[in-house]
Amino acid sequence: MASRHPASGGSFSPFSPDHKVIGIQYLVTSFIFYLIGGSMAAAMRTELATAAPDFVTPDVYNGLLTLHGTIMIFLWIVPAGAGLANYLIPLMIGARDMAFPKLNALAFWMIPPGGILLVSSFFIQAPQAGWTSYPPLSLVSGKVGEGIWIMSLLVLGTSSILGAINFLVTILKMRVPSMGLNDMPLFCWAMLATGGLILIGTPVLAGALILLAFDLLAGTAFFNPTGGGDPIVYQHMFWFYSHPAVYIMVLPLFGAISDILPVHARKPIFGYQAIAYSSLAISFLGLIVWAHHMFTSGTPAWLRMFFMIATMVIAVPTGIKVFGWLATIWGGKIQLNSPMLFALGFISTFVIGGISGVMVASVPFDLHVHDTSLHRGAPALRPVGGSVFGL
């Protein structure tokens, strides 16, 4: 029987197209997969506690590594951001629902089967090529598991694209008449930038995965060097999505922080337009920095210089956000409740991590520290042309 929905007072249906229901479903589902991916991380850390492979075998470790990374990106942080957006955007802009409610429900209901498919690959024949799945390693390390991995990512990527279409149309076309773009909450600006990144980057990843599937299952040689293919092309296509994916993950959280801080500091946000437009600047620059993951892949020197400069430049709009946040809380009547503590923790953690990003953006420095982390089974996880981990 249908139960009462506490937010609306009406009946709750798991297949409801209501944006609040779908937002909660996104958050709950993504948290379940977070627990699954986190348990895989715990298993890996347990194995790394001693020098000998005494907890899991190297093959199992490689499978855990691959699925942990994939789950945490495609089944935890990206759907969690979509869940926040589904719940909040219509409420923030005065819309009754998302622009395409049924499409919105379809986007969510593609996630559980895609996630189950991905997790099932671990028990059938775990993919062992890392979450980047670089060829030629991905072409020889278990065709069944790799094929399931590709299929699940295509399903999850399609879900992401459908969600992005909904976000963009809802924000641009369904605001109340009195709300201009410069009147929107900053979370809406962040989702506008995120939706653009998803629509531009995700189809490129889908193309790379389809070509990889042909190499894997049909014997073609798009990326297989033994047949004249070029594995570096796969790296370019993969990172054209997977670096913008960093901003797909973090931009919704930037937007949330930008709306949390002024409330709990009892001050208006400092530099509203600068923070809003910096989201668009991050979105644009995020599309032209992907090859900084490939400095060790034989990239020409002139191209390295372009991506090095672009990577350093993207620190500017990011810094604008940080300084805007700090100016907002400076002199404010701060309430140190849970949202504010999480927001302040986010800022400090983000700045500490971001400083290292400026350092490794430098080609000479990156060439020396790239892929220097020690991992169990590392020789099997280093394909030709770069690092599996893309660090």
Structure tokens at 298: 């034989």
Using a pLDDT cut of 90, give the percent of the chain over it.
77
Residue 248: which pLDDT band, with cuts at 50, 70 and 90?
very high
| pLDDT grade for 289, boundaries at 50, 70 and 90 | very high
Look at residue 386 and tell me whether its pLDDT is greater than 60.
no
**What does the pLDDT look like over 132-170, one tens digit per residue?**
999 999 998 878 999 999 999 999 999 999 999 999 999
Q: What is the pLDDT of residue 120?
A: 93
Who has greater pLDDT, 4 or 97? 97
Give the C-alpha separation, 203 to 14, whole Å: 29
Q: How many CB atoms sit inside 10 A of residue 203's CB?
A: 14
Residue 383 is predicted with a pLDDT of 36
Please name the residues in contact with 184: beta carbons below 8 A apart, sequence gap of 6 or more.
92, 93, 171, 175, 276
Q: Taking 80 as the threshold, does the pLDDT of residue 384 lie above it?
A: no
CATH number of 14-381: 1.20.210.10
Lowest-confidence segment of 164-173, 238-247, 270-279, 359-368 by average pLDDT:
359-368
Alpha helices in 58-185 (DSSP H): 58-71, 78-93, 101-109, 111-125, 143-173
Q: For residue 210, what pLDDT is reported?
A: 96
Helix H or strand E segment including 12: strand 11-12
Q: Is 381's pLDDT higher than 70?
A: no
- Picking from 7, 175, 22, 164, the residue whose alpha carbon sits closest to that of residue 92 is 175
Element (H, E) at 188: helix 186-217
- Which sequence spans correspond to the domains of the chain? 14-381
How high is the pLDDT of residue 373?
67
Inform me whether the pLDDT recorded for 10 exceeds 60.
no
Average pLDDT over residues 192-197: 96
Mean pLDDT over 32-39 rounds to 96
- Between 121 and 371, the higher pLDDT residue: 121
| Residue 386 or residue 182, greater confidence | 182
Predicted confidence at residue 262, as pLDDT, reads 95
Band of the pLDDT at 16, cuts 50, 70, 90? confident
Alpha-carbon separation of residue 140 from 76, 128, 144, 215, 216 (angstroms): 28, 10, 10, 11, 8
16 — phi, psi (to 5°)? -65, 140
pLDDT at 250 over 50: yes
Burial class (CB within 10 angstroms; exposed 0-12, middle 13-18, buried 19+) of 189: buried
